């Protein structure tokens, strides 16, 4: 059985819940509106056994995919879901994912993606902060580039990147400058 549609018709969170509660097996491919792949979730008997989104895997990939609001999906129950890379509790992941999305929206309001981040001095206190300071270098860079760098490296998802940036701002290691003008 195959099911295809758009995320405007059926939200990814609802699709995941139906797949999980229905005990379905198969692969769920998610695509962006331009048709480029956003990621894949694999289920076996309703359990999430794999999540991939770009360089992100596991829980980070799952949370990143939940943030995809536009585009399409295709669930193929005939596709081999592959090896069990993980056994994630789907219900609690969905709840945590929704909490993270709320926090991302709040963080986006206080740290706009086009704002410039300027290094003032100081040290990182965890690997994500260290990566952000590495992307920033001795100069400045916009928030969107910093978050994209962490995503591409698979080090952190948007939530973790914005939280780390928020901590760096609070400690005065960086400050926000003028937003980029298009």
pLDDT per 10-residue tile (average), the chain, 182 residues: 88 91 93 95 92 91 92 93 80 91 93 92 93 85 88 83 95 85 52
Q: Is residue 31 part of a domain?
A: yes
Which of 85, 89, 19 has its CA nearest to residue 28? 19
What is the pTM for the complete model shown?
0.81
| 86 and 171 share one domain | no
The three-state (H, E, C) secondary structure of the chain, written as one string:
CEEEEECCCCCHHHHHHHHHHCCCCEEEEEECCCCCEEEEEEEECCEEEEEEECCEEHHHHHHHHHCCCCCEEEEECCCCCCCCCCCECHHHHHHHHHHHHHHHHHHHHHCCCCEEEEECCCCCCCHHHHHHHHHHCCCEEEHHHHHHHHHHHCCCCHHHHHHHHHHHHHCCCEEEEEECCC
What confidence score (pLDDT) does residue 153 get? 78
Q: Is residue 120 part of a domain?
A: yes
| 81 and 163 share one domain | no
- Give the domain range for residue 97: 2-105
Of 73, 105, 137, which one is at a domain's C-terminal end?
Answer: 105
| 13 and 92 share one domain | yes
Number of domains in the chain: 2
What confidence score (pLDDT) does residue 83 get? 82
Q: Is residue 182 part of a domain?
A: no
| 54 and 99 share one domain | yes
What confidence score (pLDDT) does residue 175 get? 94
| 84 and 128 share one domain | no
Of 53, 82, 105, which one is at a domain's C-terminal end?
Answer: 105
Q: Is residue 24 part of a domain?
A: yes
| 8 and 97 share one domain | yes
Q: Which residues pair with 72 in a beta bridge?
A: 6, 31
What confidence score (pLDDT) does residue 30 get? 97
What confidence score (pLDDT) does residue 157 get? 87
Of 86, 105, 124, which one is at a domain's C-terminal end?
Answer: 105
| 37 and 62 share one domain | yes
Q: Is residue 81 part of a domain?
A: yes
| 34 and 94 share one domain | yes
What distance in Å separates the CA atoms of residue 57 and residue 51, rounded to the nearest whole number? 6
């Amino acid at each position: 059985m195959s099911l295809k549609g758009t995320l405007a018709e059926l939200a990814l969170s609802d699709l995941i819940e139906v797949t999980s509660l229905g005990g379905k097996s198969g692969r769920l491919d998610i695509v962006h509106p331009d048709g480029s792949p956003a990621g894949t979730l694999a289920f076996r008997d309703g359990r999430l056994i794999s999540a991939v989104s770009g360089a992100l895997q596991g829980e980070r990939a799952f949370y990143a995919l939940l943030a995809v609001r536009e585009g399409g999906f295709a669930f193929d129950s005939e596709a081999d879901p592959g090896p069990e890379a993980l056994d994630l509790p789907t219900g609690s992941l969905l709840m945590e994912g929704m909490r993270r999305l709320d926090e991302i929206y709040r963080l986006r309001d206080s740290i706009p993606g086009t704002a410039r981040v300027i290094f003032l001095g100081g040290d990182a206190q965890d690997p994500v902060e260290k990566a952000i300071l590495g992307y920033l270098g001795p100069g400045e860079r916009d928030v969107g580039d910093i978050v994209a760098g962490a995503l591409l490296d698979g080090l952190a998802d948007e939530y973790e990147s914005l939280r780390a940036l928020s901590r760096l701002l609070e400690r005065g290691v960086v400050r926000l400058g003028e937003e980029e003008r298009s």
